[in-house]
Amino acid sequence: MSLYFLFFELVVLALFILCLRHAWQQGLQAVYQLLAGVTFGLLLERGTILQLHAYHYGQFTIMLGDVPLAIGVAWGVIIYSVNLFAEASTLPIWLRPVLCGLLALNIDLAMDAIAIRLGMWDWGQGLHFEYFGVPWANFWAWFWVVCSFTLGLRLFSWWPGWVGRWLAPLGAILVGLIVVLGTNALLAYVVPRDWYPMVVFLTLGWAVLVVLLARPRLSAGSVSPVAFWVPFGSHFYFLVAGLVSGVILMPSFLLVASLGMFSLAFYLHRHFWYSRTVLLFNRH
C-alpha cells in the first residue's frame, strides 16, 4: 500500500475526529447526522460501483468490500462541514443544499485529478480523458450527492417534534440514494454521451448563478471553524502530496487548479480568518 493512501486515511481520520467533537458538543442529533453522512457515503459508493462499473479503488488499509472505509468517512465529513457553512448563510433554506453541492465541488476540482495519479482510484480512461482523466460526469455526481443528502435533511426536519429530529438523517440517506442513483442512470442511460459536457456545465452553471443572485452573506464568527478546517485539510493534503510526488505537474495546470480552489476556499472562509485576526489584535 502506498504511503499516500495511509496519510490520506490519517487526514480523513483527523478531520472526522474534529467533526465528531463538534457534533458531540451540539448533541446526539448532530452526531447521528454525521454518522448518517458516513453511512450514506459508503452506500452511494457501493451502489454507484454496482450500477455503473465506472471506476475502482486502490487497496487502502480498511476496505469494506471494494470501497475504502476512508472514502465513506470523507463523504460524511465533507457533507457535515459544508452543511455547517450553508446553515450560517443568509440563503433561503431551499437554496442551501445547492450551496452545499458547490462547496463540495470546490474540494473535488482540486482533488480528483491528483488522486487518480496517486493510484487512489481509477476511472479506466487514462489520464488525458476529459478533465485530466476525470469524467465530466463525476462533477455532476459530486454536486448531486451532497445537494440531495442535505436537501433530504431539510425536508424531513420540517416534520414536527422528535420525528423530524431523529428521522431526518435516515430520510436524507433515502433521498440521497434515490437522487444519486437516479441522476447516475439519467446521465448514463438517457443523455447522449456527446451531451455530457453541456448537461454538466448547464447544471453547475445554473447552481452558481442562483446562489450568486441570492447574494448570500455571513457574519464574522457565525460559522464553526470545522467548516473551514475540512476544506483546508483536504486541499492542503492533495497539494502537498501532489508536489512531493510530482504528479501535480502532470500537467502543470493541475497546480494552477489546486491553488485556485485553495484560494477560493480561503476567500469563502475569510470571516473565519478575520475574526481570528481581530481576536489576536484585541489580546495585544
Question: How many independent structural domains does the chain possess?
Answer: 1
pLDDT the model gives residue 162: 73
Exposed e or buried b for every residue in 118-139, given b needs 16+ CB within 10 A? bebbebeeeeeebebbbbbbbb
**Averaged pLDDT for residues 244-262:** 95
Quick: pLDDT tens for 133-148: 999 999 999 999 999 9
Helix axes 161-185, 28-52, angle to 10 degrees: 20
pLDDT at 270 over 50: yes
| pLDDT single digits (tens) 81-103 | 999 999 988 899 999 999 999 99
Q: What is the mean pLDDT of the chain?
A: 91
Range of the domain at 149: 3-283
Q: Rounded to an integer, what distance in angstroms lies between the CA atom of residue 78 and that of residue 237? A: 15
Which pLDDT belongs to residue 278?
38
- How do residues 26-82 score in pLDDT, each as one tens digit? 999 999 999 999 999 999 999 999 998 889 999 999 999 999 999 999 999 999 999
The bridge status of strand 67-68 relative to strand 56-57 is: unpaired
Task: Report the range of poorest mean pLDDT among 116-120, 222-226, 265-269.
Answer: 222-226
Provide the pLDDT for residue 273.
60
Strand partners, 57: 121
